[in-house]
Amino acid sequence: MKFVITAGPTREPLDPVRYLSNRSSGKMGYAIAAAARETGHEVILISGPVALTAPAGAEVVPVTTGEEMFATAAAHFARCDVFVMCAAVCDYKPARYAAQKMKKERGAFSLALEPARDILSSLTSSPHDCFVVGFAAETEELRRNAQRKLAEKKCDLLVANDVARTDIGMDSDDNELLIFFKSGAEKKLWREKKTELARTLLKIILDAREKCLTKKT
């Protein structure tokens, strides 16, 4: 089975030395990729800038910006069995790129931003056969926001985690997940190492995909 997994942050350049980004370490996405390889699946890992060792046997495609991630994901989306959008993509990007380093000046500074592409929505807006797994990193109203994203982004399954906590989630080796299914069912995965959570999550994804295929036939 072919998995396409996105992981890590994206960076949106402001000038030759500055960029907008986020705190995503990529650990969860890399752990899912490693778990898929452990069970013999083909894995294409589309990775933003991270300081992690590539999972053995995975094809890693490094990208930097959201548009680069979208272009790479779109090239593989139609030909995969499972698509896992675990990357933390910037929601906004600078409206204008400065070709030279912007000089520091006295007084207040205003930076114009524009919405960045919603990669998952862009991919799922067209007919597709792959099983789509989305991620939602939230600081409040986790259940409500995750359920909304599940529907809006047309996912088959959505994995949510609370990033307001400092002991799990971003930058941490541990995580705690709440999984939402299209049927309305939910499943809680309590705090554990991301490597172990990834193995459990992989089984849940494969089981949900099998049930989805059974319904279609």
3-state secondary structure the chain: CEEEEEECECCEEEECCEEECCCCCCHHHHHHHHHHHHCCCEEEEEECCCCCCCCCCCEEEECCCHHHHHHHHHHHHCCCCEEEECCECCCEEECCCCCCCCCCCCCCCCCCEEECCCHHHHHHCCCCCCEEEEEEEECCCHHHHHHHHHHHCCCCEEEEEECCCCCCCCCCCEEEEEEEECCCCEEEEEEEEHHHHHHHHHHHHHHHHHHHHHHHC
| Gap between the Cα atoms of 89 and 70, Å rounded | 10
Question: Which of the residues are catalytic?
Answer: 22
Q: Tell me, what's the pLDDT at 62? A: 98
71-108: pLDDT as tens digits: 999 999 999 999 999 999 999 999 999 999 999 888 99
Per-residue pLDDT of the chain (217 residues; tens, 9 = 90+): 999 999 999 999 999 999 999 999 999 999 999 999 999 999 999 999 999 999 999 999 999 999 999 999 999 999 999 999 999 999 999 999 999 999 988 899 899 999 999 999 999 999 999 999 999 999 999 999 999 999 999 999 999 999 998 888 888 999 999 999 999 999 999 999 999 999 999 999 999 999 888 877 6
Overall fold of domain 2-91+114-216: Rossmann fold (3.40.50)
Domain boundaries, the chain: 2-91+114-216
